[in-house]
Structure 1
């Protein structure tokens, strides 16, 4: 049985790699339904997949056992007001309206039904942050518009458009996690994408309690109101400025430097750590989720996928908050404290692939490790 699973995973991974379209920006595209179907064939329990696949085809007026979980899901991601409580299993008008809003955000035909495309989108691994702000409040009156009325991009901001009031930020890893250096370097590298296009700098410190950004891995309920849910589902979440909390789900099979892909039996649930880190740092700096599927701030990330290069939408969004990077000078020596400093850095990474095909090219202007 184990050999069959490994063979199936290998065939699917090879097919995905063969079918991919290599764009000029080195991004890789996958069919959004390919991973969920594979997971079902391999009998991997993923919570949301097991719970939601039975709702395909459901529509208004029906009463289905467990349908309240769909309402809870949509409320969590901002499509139903937080004030709504005591959800029933009835496919009511509240659910129809929420599904239409969800479908609009993800550019799916607005049927108001739980069709195949909608369920396929819902069960993709994703960020735990909301897609839209709390619908009981309004952020449209601010000087910076939300993506739905923005004429230059699809990017969003958090309600009230929070931002850091300084440009030099520090970050630290929770000591108790005992992360390997590969994990740390991967996350540290993700900061450089944002430093390259803004005047922001990021300095690593060992003082966790004093750091502006606190990075930690947790499992399940960890006390911040956003419990993780095991393998896949919610991958990570981060809080808007100036909270600086940056949390990963420790139950994920994190792909770091090609290591996990050496274990074929775990390939199908591999999630690229750097891709998720780049996304969550966008939240830490004040960006919400983008409706642009190519953006790193798009909420979902299929397993086996890699997305670390900022797109125009990401750059336009972050520069509308902090401005562009105008620095040209490069320090001649690293800082005295030995910390990692990122400023004016660019990273170019080849598409996600199997280890023996993986090529990573880093063009670093100013990184000190």
Structure 2
């Protein structure tokens, strides 16, 4: 796809009259709504795969575009665990992906990408400068992990951690359409503050047809609920009863009251990892801005966030199923998508915790126990 440059000031002034007269309360493009599934798979050209290991209390989520996709990453946590994020850095050769993996297991979970890459490579998917007989492609599979090693599951795996197999299982079952939330995939063994964490997802379709979705594994140090209440920090962004229907809280909170945040946090023992997807044909630089803006969605849903003890990472990708609208300056479209990504990610965080249940034998409290 040929890259289009941002419009300069003169071009902006020329086009502004065509789009700068919004309807009251609706913005210039009319009302939007969650997609039909209210999941990241509302973004056309995208599949999700999930796998769990109940014995080890861990799991893997894989995001698979139908074709190689432009992508970017933004890292804000103080203790991240990642693979191949450098490939997405500006100035490097390969800034696109064949899949993205979110995994439990801390450093062991990075091996989940081995299984995903092997599965893709065996099917001829991956990066190649030039195809040569007998030379397999190199699948690009950026990965981020969260820490779920201390949740009581059996981690005595010796030299054979389960993550490569979990990666294969996840991508083998990747599909478009609906998928479960809560205690599944990368969120299977997660904890959100003092509550059970989980896998969350949500979507938004704009009045002019653009779609943004998010999927997130919530394993944060911070709490997702307002201290002393059942209300999610993300309550003001809720649509319908997607995470309980309580809406925003009216409580006033002391600056040092972290509520149900984890007590005695450990280094690298937390982390919220996510992927934003859109069907709009953005390039890698534009997607980086979307990922940066999406981090503010975590700040609206989790308190505190981006601490020295968290490894928060957000990926962003484009399935390029639709062109960027031409009725507004391109940077304005990026700003719209970034703002939507932040809201969708906030809702996804709350949905993941709202839907979470305790795996068999696991001790703790879920949101529904409050």
TM-score calculated relative to the size of structure 1: 0.32
More strand by share: 2
More helix by share: 1
Higher relative contact order, structure no. (Cα contacts within 8 Å, ≥ 6 residues apart)? 2
